[in-house]
Copies of this chain bind each other. A is one copy, B any other.
Amino acid sequence: MGFKESFSLKDNELNEKRVFRDAIHDYIHVDHLIIWRLINSQEVQRLRRVKQLGGTYQVFQSAEHSRFVHSLGVYQVVRRMLETECLDDVLSDYDKLCVMCAGLLHDIGHGPFSHSFEGVFQGNHEDMTVRIILEESEVHDILASVDESLPQDVASIIQHTHPNQILIQMVSSQLDADRMDYLLRDSYMTGTTYGKFDMSRILRTMRICDGKIVYKESGVQAIENYILARYHMYWQVYYHPTARSYEHLLQSIFARVKDLYAQKFEFKTNLHFLIPFLENNITVEAFTKLDEAVVLYYFSEFMNEDDFILSDLSARFLNRHLFKYKELKDMTKLAKIKALADSLGYDSHYYIMSDNQKQVPYLHYGESGELSEIEILDREGQLSPLPSKSEIVSAILNSKKFKSDQKVFFPKEIKDEVSVL
């Protein structure tokens, strides 16, 4: 019998089990030594210094929580899933360990202010998560100390390549522990009612069929609620124009630093934490050292740099002089606004941004690379995709004119000039 077959979670239990008090899940339980060690690793602790909502806390100012608490929350939702009868039956102890680790670690590859940062410097944060798990890191060593194959098995869940579809669905699908925790948590922290849904009921209606997680028909309305919760959180919170304004400002600062570095500008600031990123030579070690504290420190320093654009953008950021925005109905106007900005002395490359946000509440299999439907098990034992059991989701899918929001962002100082364009 191989290691994976003989592995027993029981043997890995902590003598004294640990709990974290949590505002969302009441308690987060840590029963196993490996999980406890992972939580205390530097790569996971670093997430305390990376905010969950990036710039959104500038709008929903009470939502200042970090990716660390979210990661613990995802782990806890995975744990609750594993306690359901249906999953307890079909998964081995080794599988359970893999998926708890994957839930806890799925976000460790997020850079500081993650989306703006990724846009300029880094590839995909999932790739970085996988690198940290597989390359030299405390996390890697802790996983490998259990079994040599564990890092790869955990990584393959995050990469969607693990042979057991159930484990992938638990951590990363249209209805997974990640989304469940962040909707509940972001909703609680922002003080909105939009993200609430009935997780208990969803977990109670979970079943295994054909080697996949499916849901009993009696869970359909709880799932509809979850999907609408997600839809509303996107428009009310995640895509709030002021939050986007903040992301654009960040992205301009990062872009300016990169461009100046390429032009061999002489920085007063000692950039050593950023060098690997500026030279596109990112190591796991360098990545782990970079968090939002370091980036905020650099912004403080940048206010004293001799480059006007860099010092101006940094001051705008730290003192919350964000870009203004307006709807952009006609894309030809964008060029005009850029020309205007340039003529007024605001380099449009850094001072004029536009984006177009869309949010589709549910995706069919294959659509946009979506890997799985949410499937519903009816009383006769038949499986069907969610939209055929939900009038709401079906109606939404058949609607072709889905909301999108195109906006242009610009400095407050040129507001009057832009408004007459």
A23 at the interface (CB under 8 A from B): yes
State whether A23 and B200 are in contact (beta carbons under 8 Å apart), knowing that A232-B225, A395-B395, A398-B395 are contacts in the complex.
no
CB distance from A178 to the nearest CB of B (A): 17
- Chain B residues within an 8 Å CB radius of A401: 391, 394
- Is there an interface contact between B188 and A194, defined as CB atoms closer than 8 Å? no
Binds B, one of A86-94, A290-298, A366-374: A290-298
- Across the interface, A23 reaches (CB within 8 A) one of B62, B72, B232, namely B62
Within 162-177 of A, Cβ neighbours of B (below 8 Å) are at none
A198 at the interface (CB under 8 A from B): yes
CB distance from A30 to the nearest CB of B (A): 12
State whether A396 and B402 are in contact (beta carbons under 8 Å apart), knowing that A26-B200, A296-B293 are contacts in the complex.
no
Binds B, one of A6-14, A63-71, A413-421: A63-71
A310 at the interface (CB under 8 A from B): no
Cα distance A230–B126 in the bound complex, in angstroms = 39
- Copies of this chain per assembly: 4
- Chain B residues within an 8 Å CB radius of A64: 48, 64-66, 69
Within 319-336 of A, Cβ neighbours of B (below 8 Å) are at 319-321
- Is there an interface contact between B391 and A399, defined as CB atoms closer than 8 Å? yes
Closest chain B residue to A20 by CB distance?
B61
Cα distance A214–B63 in the bound complex, in angstroms = 31
- Chain B residues within an 8 Å CB radius of A291: 296, 300
Closest chain B residue to A299 by CB distance?
B293
CB distance from A22 to the nearest CB of B (A): 5
Q: Interface size class for chain A?
A: 35 or more
State whether A192 and B200 are in contact (beta carbons under 8 Å apart), knowing that A221-B235, A294-B297, A391-B399 are contacts in the complex.
no
CB distance from A215 to the nearest CB of B (A): 15
Within 34-89 of A, Cβ neighbours of B (below 8 Å) are at 40-42, 45, 48-49, 57, 59-66, 68-69, 72
Closest chain B residue to A229 by CB distance?
B225
- Across the interface, A191 reaches (CB within 8 A) one of B26, B57, B68, B273, namely B26
CB distance from A273 to the nearest CB of B (A): 7
State whether A399 and B403 are in contact (beta carbons under 8 Å apart), knowing that A40-B319, A292-B293 are contacts in the complex.
no
Closest chain B residue to A196 by CB distance?
B193
- Is there an interface contact between A189 and B392, defined as CB atoms closer than 8 Å? no
Closest chain B residue to A43 by CB distance?
B319
Cα distance A26–B26 in the bound complex, in angstroms = 14
- Is there an interface contact between A191 and B24, defined as CB atoms closer than 8 Å? yes
Cα distance A194–B20 in the bound complex, in angstroms = 16
A245 at the interface (CB under 8 A from B): no
A351 at the interface (CB under 8 A from B): no
Cα distance A297–B231 in the bound complex, in angstroms = 37
- Chain B residues within an 8 Å CB radius of A197: 193
- Chain B residues within an 8 Å CB radius of A22: 61-62, 191
Interface centre among A60, A224, A300, A398 (most CB of B within 10 A): A300
- Chain B residues within an 8 Å CB radius of A281: none
Additional 19 contacts, C-beta under 8 A, given A41-B319, A61-B72: A19-B204, A22-B62, A23-B63, A23-B191, A24-B191, A40-B321, A48-B57, A64-B65, A64-B69, A193-B197, A194-B225, A221-B232, A224-B228, A273-B300, A391-B399, A392-B396, A395-B396, A396-B396, A398-B399
5 contacts between A and B (CB under 8 A): A22-B191, A42-B318, A64-B65, A196-B196, A297-B297
Top 5 nearest A-B pairs by Cβ distance? A23-B191, A293-B296, A297-B297, A395-B399, A395-B395
